[in-house]
Amino acid sequence: MNKDIATPVRTRAILEKYGFSFKKSLGQNFLIDTNILRKIVEFADMSENTGAIEVGPGIGALTEQLARSSKKVVSFEIDQRLLPILNDTLADYKNVTIIHKDILEADVRAVMEEEFHEIDDIMVVANLPYYVTTPIIMKLLEEHLPIRGIVVMLQKEVADRISAKPGTKDYGSLSIAVQYYTKAETVMIVPKTVFVPQPNVDSAVIRLTVREKPAVIVKDEKFFFTVTKASFAQRRKTLLNNLTSQLPSGKEKKEEILQALEKSGIEPSRRGETLSLDEFGRLSDELYPYFH
């Protein structure tokens, strides 16, 4: 078995060998703690029949752990300078494919069909670059990809927002969007000291288990998200104020909005952060006829 990549000594040696310098714009922070990487892989609960999708492999620290625990790893890397390094560090793992592409621009479904055609169980496992965490997670969920779940390391503050419950300060449209598609739980807090370079904030590992069907069944998914976003536009404002100021021609439809709130059994004076997913589902269905 090879020496792990994710030790301070080996990471430093690899970076020196290639004269690699970190690009702040790409949010590059490499993990130098093998135990944490192994735990991340454990949370993904993979077997030799699992395919893993990774985003931003860096120098291959997590990739190597995934390659040891799964059937195949497909990794998206945007930074061309890392390709020769990955070629070298992962040379012994024949079950790894590196795709030089920004995952946000990639046709992930097509890649999955090509790379995982014999694999039914697919997990996304990654140490995500902080600056694009939310768009990446939302892309994977909104495209309804055939994945079992997502286990990712991200900024602790974003993890808190994703797994937040109604009535808490972290609960918002991001919590609802992710929890609509998945069961979300923060499974581990990771101190900033285990990265090079050290980020300014602590990280967390979050596990998202994709639901067989969404948390609430609504008439129109897109409109449901429009309503939830509008409800949190200004956190201090009441639902009625936010909906009238944020929904298209909401000001002219104040009466209709009041009616929809009444039919949903929701007080107009409540704030968005107090509503459960079910309540948002009822509300968006009652509002829907007035806005279509």
- Residue ranges for the known binding site for S-adenosyl-L-methionine are 29, 31, 56, 77, 102, 127
CB proximity list for 259: less than 8 A, separation 6 or greater:
286
Q: How far is it, in rounded angstroms, from Cα 37 to Cα 24?
A: 22
- Start-to-end C-alpha separation, the chain: 61
> What is the per-residue burial (b if ≥16 Cβ within 10 Å, else e) of 124-156?
bbbbbbbebbbebbbbbbeeebebbbbbbbbbb
| Alpha helices, H only, 1-79 | 8-18, 34-43, 61-69
**CA–CA distance, 42 with 245 (Å, rounded to integer):** 46
Q: d(Cα 226, Cα 224) in Å, to the nearest integer?
A: 5
Two tokens at 141? Answer: 């969920």
**H/E stretch holding 185:** strand 182-190
Q: Residue ranges for the binding site?
A: 29, 31, 56, 77, 102, 127
- Asked if 44 contacts 52 with a C-beta cutoff of 8 angstroms, the reply is yes
| Cα gap 150→205, rounded to integer Å | 10
Q: In angstroms, rounded to a whole number, what is the distance separating the alpha carbons of residues 261 and 253? A: 12
How far apart CA 52 and CA 76 sit, in angstroms, is 11
Residue 87 CA to residue 89 CA, distance in Å, equals: 6
Q: Residue 13: what residue type?
A: A
